[in-house]
Amino acid sequence: MSGDYTAFFYGTLMAPEVFFTVCYCHNNPHQAIKDMHTFTPAILEGYCRHRVRHADYPGVVAEKGHSVRGVYATGLTDANMSKLDTFEGSEYDKEKVKVKLLNKDGTASDKGETKETTVYVFNSPNYLEKREWDFEEFRKTKMRNWTRGGLAFDECKSTHTIFIYVLNTDDEYCRSLNELPMTAWR
């Protein structure tokens, strides 16, 4: 069942494969799950996207005269939002914003429809680089790491133990990262 929440994604989550990995533990879930969500190009005015120092992902902060292109995602459920909150962690604060929807090809829409939504704003601007984060570079060089090549985020418990699914050809099971030997990550 599709949910009533929406969000504006401007970084790694612009790639549906990353979104599905975070929210459904698989980068290419069944079509019925994919059909519950829409991802529409959109622009957020009054914010600027920067690279986070020593990270593969960006952060946005309010900056007059700037704008950020991203995607407006719909159909988010309570469970999706909980997983997204965990994924974004304490580095980000959720804020209500208005975004302008664009055409599917990313060009300005004649209607210029505006939607209220949620965005995750980076709360430690001292850790941001002055340069823009590059989505295409991320897709080419880093995205496989974020879709875990068979490993997927499940959820973080209050004990901060991260659970993952290890997808085999035979079965699917969940193990705590604390139980995995370090060689499992090489």
Q: Where are the domains of the chain?
A: 5-134
70 vs 85: CA distance, rounded Å: 18
Query: For 124-138, how does the pLDDT look when each residue is reduced to its tens digit (9 = 90+)?
Result: 999 999 999 999 999
Residue from 63, 70, 61, 69 nearest 123 by CA: 61
Q: What are phi and psi of 74, to 5 degrees?
A: -120, 170
161 vs 6: CA distance, rounded Å: 27
Annotation: CATH topology of 5-134: Hypothetical upf0131 protein ytfp (3.10.490)
102 vs 110: CA distance, rounded Å: 9
User: Token digits for 17?
Assistant: 């494969």
Query: For 77-106, how does the pLDDT look when each residue is reduced to its tens digit (9 = 90+)?
Result: 999 999 999 999 999 999 999 999 998 888
When pLDDT is averaged across residues 106-115 and rounded to a whole number, the result is 83
Confidence (pTM): 0.78
